[in-house]
Amino acid sequence: MSALAEELERLRVYADPPRLPVAGAGPFGTADMRCMAEDFFVVEHSGLAPAGDGEHLYLRIRKIGQNTRWVAKRLAEMAAVPGRAVSFAGMKDRHAVTEQWFSLHLPGRVEPVFNIPAGEGIEILQAVWHDRKLRPGQLSYNQFRLRLRNCVINDPPGFESRLHALRTAGVPNYFGAQRFGFEQANLFIIRDIRSLPRIPREQRSFALSALRGALFNGYLAARVADGSWADGLAGDIEISDRPRGVAEEDQSIFTSQRLPAGLLWGNKYQPAREEAGYCEQTFYGRFPAITSLLEGAGCRASRRVLRARTGNLSCQHDGNQVELNFALGSGSYATMVLRELLAIIDQGTAG
């Protein structure tokens, strides 16, 4: 087995969220998630106020049973424009009902007629022109309404106590299972640095994102295990947990905070110092083949906050069902909130 193959096998555990440590004493019971698409409802809030004119058509889309990239491709087909003319701020779950913005670059064009066949799971809620393209990550927060079924809460006081802690401290900002593909397959797309030119661009992007995400999860898991994920260590690099631009300006739910951040490996990274620097060197030093591959692929280093804050978190019980409502910032995963409370079986991906 090559050094890279051996490291990938060790990395797999960090791409499997149920095997990552939780911050609290949970889980406090069990529940089923996404028994039907309507149980997982997400509304994207960009903080944008489209100008009403310009050459970028913004479409507010409600989708069900489709992933974001597929919707973007369909919009490009219906508008007769290349795929690169369609953009969106964030990826949304397929097994869910979600609302989000897309933008289409249509210089000198009138608004297309979108003939969407019944049953495709796409509904246009709003169309408005704007003078700038919608860019990845250009969103303020996502609002979730999640209905969990067949709930069995074994420790109600512990459950309620953990809810209170989540409101104040948030959760470890792990990447969710979507990042890694079915059975962590995205980790194994690249088997050798020499194979990179032969891998299609989209697959290559998935693979590199998965590798960086799994490494980040592993580092964060170590920080959760030693209790330093929330308050930080000496020498930690702190960044704002609000994306630059319009999202940073929208403080309707989250005000900008500087929080300890972990490394998304790549070239030209700024190392942490002191105790945090030692932790980084110790963890990433275990994966020299993977870090070398990421550098060779041209990945540029960045950072991601270790703690994801929750906003407006509420919980209602109805027999054996629980409904959770909360907001998360850009790039954070709702499933990471759920796993701090309950052992979840995701019926949307089962089978």
CB 241 within 8 A of CB 305: yes
Report the alpha-carbon distance of residue 68 to residue 92 in Å, rounded.
Answer: 6
Catalytic machinery residues = 93
Question: Which among 16, 72, 6, 4 is positioned nearest to 210, based on CA atoms?
Answer: 16
Q: Of 344, 277, 257, 346, nearest to 29 (Cα)? A: 344
Strand partners, 308: 171
Alpha carbons within 13 A on the beta-carbon side of 58? 22
Contacts of 8 (CB under 8 A, 6+ apart): 187, 188, 290
Q: In sequence order, what DSSP letters do the residues of 157-168 get, joined into one string?
A: HHHHHHHHHHHH
The Cα 237–Cα 273 span in angstroms is 8
| Residues 265 and 291 sit within 8 Å (Cβ to Cβ) | yes
